[in-house]
Amino acid sequence: MPQINLLPWREELRTRKQKEFGIVAGVAALIMVVIIAAVHFQFNAMMDFQQSRNKYLEDQIAGLDKKIDQIKQLEEKKKNLLARMEIIQQLQSSRPEVVHLFDELVLTLPDGVYFENLKQKARSLTLEGFAQSNARVSSLMRQLDSSEWLTNPALVEIKAVKMGGPNVPANDLARLSNFKLVVQQPKPTKDGEDEES
């Protein structure tokens, strides 16, 4: 005899499909959560790795900055030492020049002329003094020009003045030429320095 199924098979089918759908949806949601968590952890791991690299680079940069500062300080010290050495060498080489300069000033000074003031700025000398006449100042300039230690004398100022002592009457005051001139001191050649030393 044929069997007749009186159970509501459509509802069972719908219920079973709903369960299967629920299971599939749950599994899909679970897989999605796992994927999102994995991506999140991966990004966090990458960020941590990048931050550790950045920290390492910052530490290395800080170390290099310290070394650069030390190098700058050493270069400054080196520059100062080189400047000092150069000054010492200049002083050492110019030591005999001072003797020659004063010797030459005495040798070129004609009778009737005397210096009152002498100033040196770099290699330029300013000479101030008195002479009995303008001709004696001209003679001084010629002798300075012919000197090997002094060159290019240039007269800055010359004026006539009357001078005398406290007990000298006004009629007997001496008439003198007050002069100011500039003369250059040439730079010594290497051969001259070698000959002197």
pLDDT in tens, the chain (197 residues): 666 666 677 788 888 899 999 999 999 999 999 999 999 999 999 999 999 999 999 999 999 999 999 999 999 999 999 999 998 887 777 777 778 788 888 888 888 898 899 998 888 889 999 998 888 889 988 988 888 888 889 989 888 887 765 555 555 567 888 999 999 888 766 544 444 43
Q: What is the identity of the amino acid at 77? A: K
Domain spans of the chain, in order of start? 90-190
CA distance to 73, 142, 164, per residue, from 111 (Å): 58, 14, 19
> Could you count the other beta carbons within 10 Å of the beta carbon of residue 86?
10
Q: How far apart are CA 22 and CA 35, in angstroms?
A: 19
- The CATH superfamily label for domain 90-190 reads General secretion pathway protein M, EpsM (3.30.1360.100)
pTM of the model: 0.49
| CB contact at 8 A, 150 and 163 | no
Tokens 């920290």 found at: 55
